[in-house]
Every structure is written in structure tokens, then in C-alpha cells.
Structure 1
Amino acid sequence: MLRNYELSPYTLAILPAELEGVNGASEVLEEEGNHYVRATPKTLVDRSCRYFGSSLKGRQDGTKDVCGITHKAPIVIDPTSGMYFFPTTSPQNSDCAWISHSHISSTKKMPDQRTLLTFTNGTAIQLPVSHGSILNQIQRTAQFRFQLNERLQAYQRVNHDRVAEHFS
């Protein structure tokens, strides 16, 4: 079991895990394998946000400012490497998992308000969340990604024009 872990572009999901003798643990799914970490999913996401210069709260506030999403807000951990994640429930809920938007291949409705989520590497997990809720989270994350990318590109164009003007 790991004590420290930073999410990376290879992270597929962070799932809450119940391990004997451990209060607050996560199973981190990566392209090449899984790890258990001695921290809750929310703590791992917050640590990774802080590694890239913000916090989970700061990233949630940013999402609100960009596209107005406040409930179960998707976040960007690092836009340059495409690290966009969404929570499966309220992040305050101990059952909340975080899913990487970039690695989702497909979803399938399952019985009992569950969803089968398949990642691009073929890994599949069942989430105790309705298919409609997962589809909504995927769509909201796509909307957020698009709007944030539009802002970043506009900012780059403006700065490029300023630099070009300065040297001409």
C-alpha cells in the first residue's frame, strides 16, 4: 500500500476502498495496473490539485466560473496533460469515486441503478451510480473541457498578438 500518490495522465479512476485496519483508503486504477493508497479519493484529488498549484476547492470554484456547474462539478487537475476528472456522487460522500474523462471508452446501463464503465485500455468497473447520472457527468465534463479550452486558446491568441506587436 502506498502512502503518497500523485494522479497522472495514466490514471483511470480513484475508487474508495475498504481495507482492514485502514481508515480511508483508495484503489487507484491506472493504464498499467492498480495501486492501493492510504488516503481517501477526495484527499488524493486535492493533493494532486495542490501539486499543480491549486486545491480541490479552487478547481471547483474555477469550474463554476468557467461554466456555472456547482453540483458534482468536474475539475481539471492539469489542462496541459488533459487531466479532467468528475466525481460520481457529491465529493463529500465517502462513496464518491473520481473518473478520468479522457480514458472512458463506453458505458452500459446495469440492473439496480448501476453502471458498467469501460476504459480505453479495456478495464471495466461497475459503479453504484445510475447510467443517467454517469452520462450527465460525462457530458458536463465535456462541456467544461470545451469552454476551458476555448478560454485558454483565446488567451494564447491575445498574448501571441501582444508579443508580435511588441517586436514589430
Structure 2
Amino acid sequence: MNQPYIIKKGDMALQPCHLAIGQYEGTRVLRYKEDEDVIKERTHKIIDRSCRFYGSSYVFKKEDTIRITGISSKPPILFTPLFPTYFFPTHSDRKTQNTWINIHYVQSIRSLKDKKCRVNFVDNQSIIVSISAHSMHHQYLNGIYYYYMMDRAARVATFDPESPIDYTKPQLNIYEALAKYSLFESK
């Protein structure tokens, strides 16, 4: 039996796709240096389940972003600070064509005709999304801003604002990780 899909390290994008059972009923998952997968489940359901898996509901993760950044329209979310999972949406979360993209894997954004754009990833995979390159850049920058605000706050909380948290170390400093989680507590 297949386990329900949870976003994990290496996930670059989740894009709704058509299945035989209906429009936008599946999700195309692009993973770093791996073949893409098609999950027989709506994208928003995967996003919500992944949020819960990492400790909070989608609504609370969205509210945390709004509180920390002030971004209230199509806010990016962080699934877990333990590895790069800063995802930004391309559309409102009420739209079935909403694609979620991980900021850490975006190589470039190219404009196409008919208000579409191509997002190229660092491993040479790409997706085409039905929004303008300008809007995609804006959403991407919102994701980067959220990443910056979280990183800056965590550095201040660890009393070493000059030294960013190094997630590539063989052993993660649990204090650094907890400092990022503490940012989600109600103020």
C-alpha cells in the first residue's frame, strides 16, 4: 500500500496535473536529480498533509508567514526549518492550478507567450506555469524575503547574528533548530 505523499528534502515543485479521473486531480512532483512523480491526489491536499506532518496546519503556517513578513497575498510557507522547504505559491490557494515551488532550487524564470513562464531548476528540469514571469518573480522574491526574515531572526535568537545556521554540518545544533521553531510561537 502506498503511503500518502509528504513533502521531503529534495522536492523542488508540486504542480497540479490532469488525470483520467479529472482536471487537476493529480500532482506532478519534481524532485532534485530524480525523475518526476505523478501523485493521484490534489496538490492542496499534499500541502495540507505535509504541514500537519511537520507540526502545524496549513492555515497556521500561512498565518505565521503573515505575522513574520507581512505578506498576506499568496504567502510562502516553511514546512520545516530542518532542511530547505521554503515553498511559494503561483496562485491563490483557492485556485486549483496553484503550483508550489521551492525557492532553493530555482535557477531562472523565463517569460513565454500568453502570460506563461518557464521555471528552470538547478538540475535542468523545468515546468511551465500559467502566470506572467513578472508575477512569478514577485512570488519568488516573497519566498526569499521569508527565508531571510526567518534566518535573521534565528541568528539573533542564537545570539550570533553574524553567523548563519549551517544545515550542512554533520550534526545539527538542536538549539539553532529550536530557535527557528520558537519564531512560530504566538507573540
Shared fold, TM over 0.5: yes
Equivalent position SS for 2:127: strand
Q: What is the CA distance between 1:41 and its match in structure 2?
A: 1.0
Give 2:28's aligned residue: 27
Equivalent residue runs for 1:7-156 within 5 Å: 7-21=7-21, 24-31=25-32, 32-156=34-158
Q: 2:131 aligns to what SS in structure 1? A: coil
Q: Is the Cα contact below 8 Å between 1:60 and 1:75 reproduced in 2? A: yes
Which structure has greater helix proportion? 1
Inter-partner Cα distance in structure 2 for 1:3 and 1:115: 33
Q: Deviations over 1:9-66 (max 9, x none)?
A: 2111101111012572211111211111122111111111111101211110000110
Aligned equivalent of 1:164 = none
The percentage of aligned residue pairs carrying the same residue is 23
CA distances 1:43-94 after superposition (whole Å, capped 9, x unpaired): 1111111111012111100001101011110011112201000110001100
- The separation in 2 between residues aligned to 1:93 and 1:136, in whole angstroms, is 18
What amino acid maps onto 2:26 in structure 1?
A
Unaligned runs of 5+ in 1: 161-168
Matching residue's letter, 1:16 = P
- Write the distance in 2 (CA, Å) between the matches of 1:63 and 1:78: 13
Cα deviation 1:114-151 (Å, max 9, x = unaligned): 11110000001111110110000111111111011111
The amino acid that maps onto 1:150 is R
CA 1:3–1:27: 2 relative to 1, 3 Å: farther
The answer to whether the 8 A contact 1:86-1:100 is kept is: yes
Contact 1:114 1:127 in 2 (8 A): yes
CA contact (8 A) 1:16 1:27 kept: yes
SS at match of 1:115: strand
Counterpart residue identity of residue 96, structure 1 = N
For 1:46 and 1:112, the matched residues in 2 are separated by 31
Higher gyration radius (CA): 1
